[in-house]
Structure 1
Amino acid sequence: MKTAGKIKGTKNIVLLVLPQVQLLDIAGPCDVFTSANRFMMNDQRDSEYRIYLVSGTAEKILYSSSGMPITCGHTIYDIDFPVDTLLVGGTDLTVLDNINTDIYTFLRNIMGKVRRMGSVCTGAFVLAGAGLLNGKKVTTHWKFADILQKSYPELEVNVNPFFIHDQQIYTSGGVTSGMDLALALLEEDFGQPTASEVARHLVLYLRRPGIQTQFGSALPDYDMMSRFIKEVRNLLKHRLGENVSIEDMSEAMNMSVRNFSRVFLKESGITPGRFLEKMRLDQAKNMLEYTDISIDMIAAQCGFGSAVSLRRLFMKHISLSPSQYRKAFKGTE
């Protein structure tokens, strides 16, 4: 870890803005870096960040996903200053389908000129599209991790961490994870005291407890499942409390066990048993959030057999016990 004050002078930070970006992908890291400037000015340090909003298109005014306009001082076509750190904000995946490939050329060209490069949320898809994540350990928003892995099998996608650092590449998870990453970059540059001061000012954890998947579903969205997997899911959803075997599943689908297992793995990426486990986990999370049913009863109704088995699975997948999850995510009435 670098000590406070190690880096001197001005460091240029580029936040690359795409159409339909979520505001927090850009505003979150921006607030971390600008807050750091205020604290360093108070300490009379000869160091600062200079933050630039750069459009990933030829237009300097882009609209966020909430409809708010974002005015960029530069575009990828007219950067005329050295860049220390570049972070790519995320956007809707449908926007990326029609993105101008000039952005990939720009990122590849600037890669060797920056100290570090990173992404917030689905910005990882942009870095991957430019071929900059090959062979890297990366993360993205938990909801899109499976899509990233299937689209770029040469990556090692881990949905759990809020951010991952692999050589000079930094990728962060969903939306607010960009602030987790920015704080980590700040600590790397100027040490823990400055990063802690900024975190307290912004009412954030310097290192947020837990993992990303505590916020999401164990399974992909229903709409992302194939027709075959949807049919299996619909057959299982009312039998989660039963002792369902792979023979039961294949029989219900009028298939042999071997063929059912092969087709299921090909279309879902996981085994039928793993899929059933994740269905049970999602159902238990739902019951913990929206009911007052005891944890023992939830374990029984979701097919875990005992509260001990339920707790073991929760700790494995989301690093929280069922009671901790209920306390953190159950709404107030």
Structure 2
Amino acid sequence: MPVPASHAPRRASPRRILILAAAPAQLLDIAGPAEVLSQANRLWAADHGGPALYDVSCHIVPEPGSAATSAGLAIGSDVDGAQLAAWTDLDTLIIAGGEGARRRADEAPLRDLARDLAGKAARVVGICTGAFILGGAGCLRGRSVTTHWRWCAELGRRHPSLAVDPEPIFIQDGNVWTSAGITAGMDLTLALVEADHGHGLALSIARELVMFLRRPGGQKQFSTVLSAQAGLSVRLADLVAWMGANLHRPLCVEDLAARVGLSPRQFARAFQAEVGTTPARMLETLRVETARRLLESERANVSAVARLCGFRADETMRRAFLRHVGVPPGDYRDRFRCTSSPIHPASQEVRHA
């Protein structure tokens, strides 16, 4: 898909990117960012020619007896330690996560290598538990960071000076970027491409990779449905999932209570006790979350989204957005939708099925 010429890079040479990983590394933490950057090169060359946008290298710090990746697949370094030592500058250092990053973060050779490379880099990125290596190297002091939700508490315990946020899929704090686990590294890398070369190219890459949408960093690691289901009885967990799939219906407490075989009063008490909120508040949260995802789509129609998500009127959705997001739905859509790239006809607006 053509990339808008208005986003032409101003650099005469490719940006040097290094992906550093400690074995055993999470395969997607390496392959995901590398593929995003490769697609940026391919799409740009197809439409504009000239030098590649990114020169991507990988260095794996091996561990005796361990495969390079947790998937058991061997990945070799294409730059060795001597070459890295000779580099004088680096645009972006990306440190992949995985068991090796978490377990080996305090190894002196790995820590020193990360610190040296970070000192040469304009940007420093921790994918998933790659943040543990950056923390061990002293590159995150006083920063706001995130990592895979399972390891946020551990990262905060090891590095008390960090503000560890378990919710966002990625965070930028100055020249330091950190992401949640696995596929969130691709979202972060798309954001890097957008910062370098514009919104249109980032969305073109997302479409090329058949990613549902380019998720903004503030999106939560867990959907409300998944978070609400944790620890619930099977009956209420199934109900919350059903609610999320039927938001277009005019759901009421009586209908929901009947679905689980309780009286409305019994249901309201049981739901509050297990979920920690009322059925009405949960419904509103689910509707806002779904509306946000739809509004992040290209040229989403606010009124159509309101109907699809079960809001009785545009104004009802507007008030709900102000409560949950802090901005009206139209402003939210204008911030995250694509306005410069060609749009596939099938995605012109959100409509009823």
Is the 1:7–1:47 contact (alpha carbons within 8 Å) kept by the matching residues of 2?
no
Pairwise CA RMSD: 3.7
**TM-score normalised to structure 2 length:** 0.64
Is the 2:123–2:175 contact (alpha carbons within 8 Å) kept by the matching residues of 1?
yes
Q: 1:21 to 1:13 in 2, by over 3 A?
A: same
Is the 1:142–1:159 contact (alpha carbons within 8 Å) kept by the matching residues of 2?
yes
Q: 1:289 to 1:311 in 2, by over 3 A?
A: closer
Give the corresponding residue for 1:65.
70
1:1-333 alignment runs, 5 A limit: 3-42=7-46, 43-57=48-62, 62-76=67-81, 78-79=83-84, 80-81=86-87, 82-92=89-99, 96-97=103-104, 100-204=107-211, 205-207=213-215, 210-214=219-223, 285=237, 288-289=240-241, 295-296=256-257, 300-302=269-271, 303=273, 304=276, 306-311=278-283, 319=289
Is the 1:140–1:172 contact (alpha carbons within 8 Å) kept by the matching residues of 2?
yes
Bigger mean CA deviation after superposition, 287-296 or 73-82: 287-296
Identity %: 28
- How many residue pairs match? The answer is 262
Q: Distance in 2 between matches of 1:185 and 1:97?
A: 27
Letter in 1 for 2:282: L
Q: 1:31 to 1:305 in 2, by over 3 A?
A: closer
* CA deviation map 1:79-133 (0-9, x unaligned): 1334211111111268624763211112222223211010111111111111111
Letter in 1 for 2:17: I
Letter in 1 for 2:57: Y
Is the 1:8–1:46 contact (alpha carbons within 8 Å) kept by the matching residues of 2?
yes
Letter in 2 for 1:158: D
Is the 1:128–1:134 contact (alpha carbons within 8 Å) kept by the matching residues of 2?
yes
Q: Distance in 2 between matches of 1:39 and 1:115?
A: 24
Give the corresponding residue for 1:273.
none
Letter in 2 for 1:308: A
Q: 1:187 to 1:283 in 2, by over 3 A?
A: farther
Letter in 2 for 1:149: G
SS in 1 for 2:171: strand
* CA deviation map 1:159-182 (0-9, x unaligned): 221111111111011100010011
Q: 1:213 to 1:153 in 2, by over 3 A?
A: farther
Letter in 2 for 1:170: W
Gapped regions of structure 2 (runs ≥ 5): 1-5, 246-252, 261-266, 295-353
Q: Distance in 2 between matches of 1:281 and 1:135?
A: 40
Letter in 2 for 1:130: A
Q: 1:299 to 1:312 in 2, by over 3 A?
A: farther
Q: 1:93 to 1:149 in 2, by over 3 A?
A: farther
Is the 1:18–1:57 contact (alpha carbons within 8 Å) kept by the matching residues of 2?
yes
Gapped regions of structure 1 (runs ≥ 5): 220-276, 325-333
Q: Distance in 1 between matches of 2:234 and 2:20?
A: 35
Bigger mean CA deviation after superposition, 68-77 or 97-106: 97-106
* CA deviation map 1:260-302 (0-9, x unaligned): xxxxxxxxxxxxxxxxx98569995565348999645575433
Is the 1:87–1:118 contact (alpha carbons within 8 Å) kept by the matching residues of 2?
yes
Q: Distance in 1 between matches of 2:93 and 2:225?
A: 28
Q: 1:151 to 1:89 in 2, by over 3 A?
A: same
Q: Distance in 1 between matches of 2:182 and 2:235?
A: 25
* CA deviation map 1:41-95 (0-9, x unaligned): 1111444211111123488x95211111111112445413342111111112686
Q: Distance in 1 between matches of 2:205 and 2:176?
A: 23
SS in 2 for 1:84: strand
SS in 1 for 2:53: strand
Q: Distance in 1 between matches of 2:28 and 2:224?
A: 17
Q: Distance in 2 between matches of 1:295 and 1:153?
A: 44
Give the corresponding residue for 1:250.
none
**TM-score normalised to structure 1 length:** 0.67
Q: Distance in 2 between matches of 1:62 and 1:305?
A: 46
SS in 1 for 2:90: coil
Letter in 1 for 2:139: L
